[in-house]
């Protein structure tokens, strides 16, 4: 069995990756984040305690695990320091954390611009988390960005900062925002550098050393495949690709290392922020699922939109991310429903299609084609063995496998680490 596992979100984020990563992180030698930033909200629960992480990898609770924030991330040092402080306040003080010297750095103007761009879009807002993620990635790719490693070379950092602000201040002013003062930003970032400086290193080297010595390495994706900058519901997406295909570039390793890819999918679907969502449901049923599943954003607290499981999306993301096993989350939330629907195709102007169209204009015209399965009444939150699940719950899982041509490796029936059913015993050998 694999010594390298990638955990990817397969829907619109918030699938429960935090729980799955945490489940395997307890045995991993290393946990690596390879994309995104503090726009992610990973909830981890164990021993009755609930923790929320944004940019720090989920292996942080295990003192023996090496946690890595990879070069593919956009890292806000302010947020790293605040997250660490929160962990310290709750007694989590013994951990190993490293940050890539090549990771793009979120600067104050990114956050200001994220807000300003959104406000100017009016009704067409993406509904970003306002953490500056898009503007930070834009600067990275336009080669005007600063990187985490720059903090270790103060003169170079200052040079890059002056060059960036020379242009950014013009943009800030043109949008009616206050320009930033070089001195102030410099001093604040140098202060942050004192706090995170010892964690900054060449993490690609660190990860490759671990891989070469056969360590157990877990790659933790953020967001979900339908928020992928390339394959998601563009432009209502995030600015990176959560796919397992991003791991080699975002961690600085060769593709040959990737074998097991656990695709995390809720037993239904949710989405925060705007954008088309073909299987969205509303009214009493949506309310019931939202309340039972505690479907409110970890980062922003926004109520999540709720819908039926979309097998068109699941098949699409399974292929794109190379998902080898599903982790089906929150199956317990569906207990008690008379009927459960699964979307198996889209009706586009009278024609059935089985892959999502490339534009949201066309996606908005797609009507879900459903099959309906019988529900189950039993409380399943205490079940730990697949065979003990109600027949209709088993049938639901088998239908997901059939429709997506991807086996289900594990099922989550509650938020706690222990509320997990391992279907594929091979996963337990990670
Ligand atoms: P951004 O990543 O802040 O630019 O936001 C772009 C879109 O991605 C918005 O619809 C956000 O709600 C969504 N998004 C970003 N991160 C997450 C996440 O971790 N979970 C769910 N949605 C997310």
Q: Contact 255/261 with Cβ under 8 angstroms?
A: no
227 lines ligand 1 (CB under 6 A): yes
Residue that wins the pLDDT comparison between 176 and 301: 176
**What tens digit of pLDDT does each residue of 53-103 get?**
999 999 999 999 999 999 999 999 999 999 999 999 999 999 999 999 999
3-state secondary structure (DSSP) of residue 268: coil
147 and 65 in a common domain: no
For residue 234, the model assigns a pLDDT of 96
Residue in this structure with the two tokens 């307890």, named with its chain if needed: 26
**205 is an active site residue:** no
CATH number at residue 177: 1.10.300.10
Residue in this structure with the two tokens 């409110």, named with its chain if needed: 296
For residue 315, the model assigns a pLDDT of 98
Reply yes or no on whether the pLDDT at 1 is more than 60: no
Mean pLDDT of the chain: 95
Give me the domain span that covers residue 374: 265-429
Q: To test the ligand 1 pocket, which listed residue (43, 116, 238) has its Cβ within 8 A of the most ligand atoms?
A: 238
- CA distance linking residue 329 with residue 130, whole number of Å: 27
**332 is an active site residue:** no
Q: Which residues of 403-415 are buried (b: 16+ CB within 10 A; e: fewer)?
A: bbebebbbbbbbb
272 lines ligand 1 (CB under 6 A): yes
Among candidate residues 42, 110, 139, 310, the one labeled active-site is: 42
Q: Provide the token pair at 384.
A: 């730990």
For residue 324, the model assigns a pLDDT of 97
326 and 215 in a common domain: no
Q: Provide the token pair at 282.
A: 């509303």
**Percentage with pLDDT > 90 across the chain:** 89
299 and 364 in a common domain: yes
Query: How many other C-beta atoms lie within 10 A of the C-beta of residue 359?
Result: 13
**What tens digit of pLDDT does each residue of 237-275 get?**
999 999 999 999 999 999 999 999 999 999 999 998 888
**What tens digit of pLDDT does each residue of 16-56 get?**
988 898 889 889 999 999 999 999 988 887 788 889 899 99
Per the structure, how many domains does the chain have? Answer: 3
pTM: 0.95
Task: Give CA 427 to chain center in angstroms.
Answer: 21
The 8-class DSSP code of residue 162 comes to: H
Q: To test the ligand 1 pocket, which listed residue (7, 9, 13, 277) has its Cβ within 8 A of the most ligand atoms?
A: 13
Query: How many other C-beta atoms lie within 10 A of the C-beta of residue 309?
Result: 26
DSSP annotation string for 58-92? GGGGSTTSEEEE-TTBEE-HHHHHHHHHHHHHTT-
299 and 184 in a common domain: no
């Amino acid at each position: 069995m694999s010594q390298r596992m990638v955990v990817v979100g397969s829907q619109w984020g918030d699938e429960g990756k935090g729980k799955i990563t945490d489940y395997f992180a307890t045995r991993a030698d290393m946990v690596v984040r390879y994309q995104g930033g503090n726009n992610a909200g990973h909830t981890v629960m164990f021993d009755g305690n609930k923790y929320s992480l944004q940019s720090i990898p989920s292996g942080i609770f295990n003192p023996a695990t090496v946690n890595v924030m990879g070069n593919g991330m956009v890292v806000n040092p302010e947020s790293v320091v605040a997250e660490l402080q929160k962990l310290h306040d709750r007694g989590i003080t013994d951990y190993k954390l490293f940050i890539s010297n090549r990771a793009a750095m979120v600067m104050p103007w990114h956050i200001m611009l994220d807000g300003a761009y959104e406000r100017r879009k009016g009704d067409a807002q993406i509904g970003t988390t306002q953490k500056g993620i898009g503007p930070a990635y834009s600067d990275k790719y336009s080669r005007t960005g600063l990187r985490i490693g720059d903090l270790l070379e103060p003169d170079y950092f200052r040079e890059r900062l002056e060059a960036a602000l020379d242009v950014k201040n013009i943009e800030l002013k043109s949008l009616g925002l206050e320009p930033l003062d070089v001195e102030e930003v410099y001093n604040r970032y140098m202060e942050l550098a004192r706090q995170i400086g010892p964690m900054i290193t060449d993490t690609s080297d660190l990860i490759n050393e671990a891989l070469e010595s056969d360590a157990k390495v877990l790659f933790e994706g953020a967001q979900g495949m339908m928020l992928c900058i390339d394959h998601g519901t563009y432009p209502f997406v995030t600015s990176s690709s959560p796919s397992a295909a991003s791991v080699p570039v975002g961690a600085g390793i060769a593709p040959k290392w990737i074998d097991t890819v656990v695709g995390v999918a809720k037993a239904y679907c949710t989405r925060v922020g705007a954008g088309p969502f073909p299987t969205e449901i509303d009214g009493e049923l949506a309310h019931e699922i939202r309340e039972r599943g505690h479907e409110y954003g970890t980062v922003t607290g926004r109520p999540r939109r709720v819908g039926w499981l979309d097998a068109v999306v699941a098949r699409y993301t399974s292929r794109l991310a190379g998902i080898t096993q599903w982790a089906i989350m929150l199956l317990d939330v569906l207990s008690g429903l008379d009927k459960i629907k699964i979307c198996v195709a889209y009706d586009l102007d009278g024609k059935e299609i089985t892959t999502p169209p490339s534009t949201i204009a066309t996606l908005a015209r797609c009507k879900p084609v459903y099959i309906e399965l019988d529900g189950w009444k039993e409380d399943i939150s205490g079940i730990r063995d697949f065979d003990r699940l109600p027949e209709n719950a088993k049938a639901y899982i088998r239908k997901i496998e059939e429709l997506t041509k991807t086996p289900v490796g594990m099922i989550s029936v509650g938020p706690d680490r222990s509320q997990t059913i391992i279907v594929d015993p091979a996963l337990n050998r990670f």
